Amino acid sequence: MPSELDEHHQRLYSASARMMWEQGPPAWRGDRWPTARRDAWRDLEAALSASPPAPVADVPADPARYLVSGRAPDARAVPLAAAVGTWEARFDADPVPPEPGTGVPAEGAVAIAAVWQTLICDLLDELAQRLAPGRPPCVITGDSAELADEIRALGGALRTAAEGAAAPSPAAAPAPAGDGGDREPERPVTGEGFARLRAVALAAARSMPTRAEAERAGDFTVRAAACAAAEDLTRVAEGGTAPQWRERRAGIDPSRHLVQGYRWSGGAARPTSFGQAAAGLRADRAGPSARPLDPADAPAWRTAAAEGTSVLLSPTAALIAAELLAELAARLTPGTRSGTVPLTGLAVHDFVKGRFRRAFIVA
């Protein structure tokens, strides 16, 4: 049973990490911010890295920190950052780079309909959002089974197409390294450690302008969402009333809804339930599937790619997309429990929004 100090630490950590995530690309690592603000945020980044929240109880490898969909060759849990490093290395070694100036793979491509590209990017944005640093603990409810199955089917179709194309040998791909997450030791929160994190968090939050101040000064180096999160963090750190986390839209319950998707019904915006998402995904998958590019019809597919109705991918990009979809499906399996996402969740978010997106949107 978490102590009162543990609960205070979890709230403070969540609110602090959320502020850093809302800022987006780490402006505090560059030189565009005033020195005092930059240093305060760097201190907060170091403090959050040094004192992560406790992992969820009774779960061998907390999904907030480790892959859910697979393990390392030695059967140990794979940290999220290690998985991202492996995917990055595979892109670096991709034997089927795009043709210069076209973005289209030169040979051994995987062909998918353009709607699949949009669909997959949206689903992986959901994965990135679920691994946003500071996201509080969550238990997935039972009505997610159909959606998880649909996502697995989508990833399976991509994998089959990639394996039928000129995919690199599995032996040539670097294997992710595990770190024994099953035996992760507890790090008890101390009063001194909590006081230190609180002081650093307050300094970072107070270094931020309000949204109105940023607009008046024409300061485009801070995001409005980060300014709002800084105000919440200040209240949390001072013991006031404020949420430690806010979803991007009202009414979203991560245990029952997509955190990325939203729908309009009767003129009002509403969260997308797992069941609604599953129905939409099933309808979208009913069209053309992914398949290896046949050299005989390559000209037609290249024309379709140029017209925006289809997309050509390297097998490596298709395989990595399939693995990311498998990870999302595993996280949306009924009963999956995860703890507070530490700052390391930013690695997956940055990869999905950065390197993966650049490789996947090629045409």
pLDDT in tens, 44-56: 999 999 888 888 7
pTM (predicted TM-score): 0.88
CA–centroid distance for 72 within its chain: 20
Please say if the pLDDT value at position 194 is more than 60: yes
C-beta pairs of 347-351 under 8 Å, 24+ apart in sequence: 347/80, 347/81, 347/84, 348/80, 348/83, 348/84, 348/127, 348/128, 348/131, 349/21, 349/128, 349/129, 349/131, 349/132, 349/133, 351/84, 351/87, 351/88
Q: What is the pLDDT of residue 183?
A: 46
Average pLDDT, the chain: 85
Q: Residue 103 and residue 207: Cα distance in Å, rounded?
A: 42
Which whole number is the average pLDDT over 263-279?
A: 86
Give me the number of domains the chain comprises.
1
Q: What is the pLDDT of residue 284?
A: 85
Please say if the pLDDT value at position 94 is more than 50: yes
Q: What is the pLDDT of residue 142?
A: 77
HEC secondary structure over the chain: CCCHHHHHHHHHHHHHHHHHHHHCCCHHHCCCCCHHHHHHHHHHHHHHHHCCCCCCCCCCCCCCCECCCCCCCCCCCCEHHHHHHHHHHHHHCCCCCECCCCCCECCCCEEEEHHHHHHHHHHHHHHHHHCCCCCCCEECCHHHHHHHHHHHHHHHHHHHHHHHCCCCCHHHCCCCCCCCHHHCCCCCCCHHHHHHHHHHHHHHHHCCCCHHHHHHHCCCCCCHHHHHHHHHHHHHHCCCCCCCCCCCCCCCCCCCEEEEEEEEECCEEEEEEHHHHHHHHHHHHCCCCCEECCHHHHHHHHHHHHHCCEEEECHHHHHHHHHHHHHHHHHCCCCCEECCCCHHHHHHHHHHHHHHHHHHCCC
Range of the domain at 53: 4-360
Please say if the pLDDT value at position 245 is more than 50: yes
pLDDT digits over 136-163, tens only? 999 998 799 999 999 999 999 999 988 8
Q: What is the pLDDT of residue 169?
A: 44
Which whole number is the average pLDDT over 222-226?
A: 94
Q: What is the pLDDT of residue 323?
A: 96
CA–centroid distance for 278 within its chain: 20
pLDDT digits over 20-44, tens only? 999 987 788 888 899 999 999 999 9
Q: What is the pLDDT of residue 363?
A: 47
Which whole number is the average pLDDT over 225-230?
A: 96
Q: What is the pLDDT of residue 304?
A: 61
Please say if the pLDDT value at position 108 is more than 80: no
Please say if the pLDDT value at position 171 is more than 60: no
Q: What is the pLDDT of residue 187?
A: 67
Q: What is the pLDDT of residue 179?
A: 67
Please say if the pLDDT value at position 116 is more than 60: yes
Q: What is the pLDDT of residue 322?
A: 96
Which whole number is the average pLDDT over 315-330?
A: 94
Q: Residue 20 and residue 260: Cα distance in Å, rounded?
A: 19
